[in-house]
Amino acid sequence: MGKADFLSPKAISNRIKSKGLQKLRWYCQMCQKQCRDENGFKCHCMSESHQRQLLLASENPTKFMDYFSDEFKSDFLELLSRRFGTKRVHNNIVYNEYISHREHVHMNSTQWETLTDFTKWLGREGLCKVDETPKGWYIQYIDRDPETIRRQEEQARKKKQDLDDEERTAKFIEEQVRRGRDGKETEETSVFTELKRESEEEKVAFNLGASSSVAGPSRSSSVLGASALKAASSSVKRKDTSSDARGEKKKKSALEEIIEMEEKKKQKSVRTDYWLQPNIIVKVITKKLGEKYHKKKAVVMEVRDKYGAVVKMIDSGDKLKLDQNHLETVIPAPGKRVLILNDQYRDLEAVLEGIDEKNFSATLTLDSGQQKGKRVDVAYEDFSKLA
């Protein structure tokens, strides 16, 4: 019997029946064919094409299972990242949306028996954040795109810089308030009073000549000569001029003082926000690469774009390209050689003498440069062990 026409009632009926999801028990994953009823599925299982597919699968079953598992995982994660992003969502919601596509890979052909097993596997592999609640399992996609990671690190660096600026401004304001209070206290303590006699019976005589004056009966009179008056007047003038000068110094505005402080800092400080140098030993602090590299030491082989580096792991010999935010300096034992990475002694080699745990710094003896032999205090993050 010939095939029905495209617009015939039978053909239209068949297309309507084939729309949407069918029963999973009548689906053949090997042939990727969906049957509408038990009789159709039985006929398909007896067909020559199905038998041929079974023979191919029996030769290497793990290969086909791995292929279907990879397809299921990639499609599921693509839907999760595109549809929900990094939001926390119930795993059943994602799965129901995934299986709504008619040509999806069925879970019974993968290495996972249930959706819970697949969710736990995603958590163990670090592909998603998973947590179990009384309502079921929730998953959250972890975006490992390098562009996204770089953008997040730039935002974090900018936020930290803004916080540092705010803290610096707050400290400066506190210093201004403290200086203002100290100035008021000194003005209150240095109050000038007029001359007063302790008793009315006492007589004070002024003699502009060389002779002395006689005081009353209570106690000896005070004698002020012309030279004493001149000295007093000159001292008063000096006080007035010094107070005027002090007043002129206080008249500086807060903006001018901020500008002066910033200029002094620019002159003194030569710090940079990058510190990587070749041939130093560093430690990997990021967990994104797994436990294999976490807290392991490596040697910087090459510095790229100031903020990135190619490092070689000391234990395994693997080479990785990492950002400086994923690394930290290594402090050796006293007596070992180090390289200063930042501040005014940058690029100079030194010998570690001692560690000050309270101030998070170390005492180094410079071993190169014009100031060789000089002892300096350097913060932990500004030097690292030489390879």
- From 285, 50, 262, select the one nearest 165 (Cα to Cα): 262
pLDDT at 212: 44
- DSSP 3-state helix, strand, coil percentages of the chain (rounded to 5)? 45, 20, 40
Cα–Cα distance, 192 to 174 (Å, whole number): 30
pLDDT at 385: 92
User: What are the φ/ψ torsions at residue 211 (nearest 5 degrees)?
Assistant: -75, 165
pLDDT at 225: 46
pLDDT at 146: 76
pLDDT at 158: 83
Cα–Cα distance, 106 to 28 (Å, whole number): 10
Q: What's the CA angle centered on 308, arms 289 and 122, to 5 degrees?
A: 20
pLDDT at 297: 92
Residue-by-residue DSSP string for 25-67: GGEETTTTEE-SSHHHHHHHHTSHHHHHHHHHHHH-HHHHHHH
* Cross-strand bridge partners of residue 313: 298
Question: Where on the phi/psi map is residue 317: left (φ > 0), alpha (ψ -120 to 50), or beta?
Answer: left
pLDDT at 260: 75
Half-sphere exposure of 77 (CA within 13 A, CB side): 20
Q: Say if residue 50 is exposed, middle or buried (CB neighbours under 10 Å; 0-12, 13-18, 19+).
A: middle
pLDDT at 188: 58
Cα–Cα distance, 155 to 291 (Å, whole number): 26
Cα–Cα distance, 231 to 212 (Å, whole number): 18
For the record, the structure tokens of 363 come out as: 């005492």
The SS3 assignment for 257 reads helix
Beta strand 319-323 pairing with 308-313:
antiparallel
Alpha helices in the chain (DSSP H): 9-18, 38-45, 48-59, 61-83, 91-99, 115-124, 146-189, 226-250, 254-268
The pTM (predicted TM-score) of the whole model is 0.34
Query: Which residues lie closer than 8 Å to 282 by C-beta, 6 or more apart?
Result: 297, 298, 299, 300, 309, 311, 327, 328, 329, 330, 384
pLDDT at 53: 78
Cα–Cα distance, 320 to 316 (Å, whole number): 11
pLDDT at 311: 92
Q: Are 294 and 287 in contact (CB under 8 A)?
A: yes
Query: Which residues lie closer than 8 Å to 124 by C-beta, 6 or more apart?
Result: none
For the record, the structure tokens of 330 come out as: 């290594």
Query: Which residues lie closer than 8 Å to 296 by C-beta, 6 or more apart?
Result: 283, 284, 313, 314, 315
Give the chain's residues under pLDDT 70. 1-4, 15-25, 184-252, 263-269
For the beta sheet containing 88-90, the strands, ordered from the edge strand earlier in sequence to the opposite edge, are 88-90, 136-141, 128-133
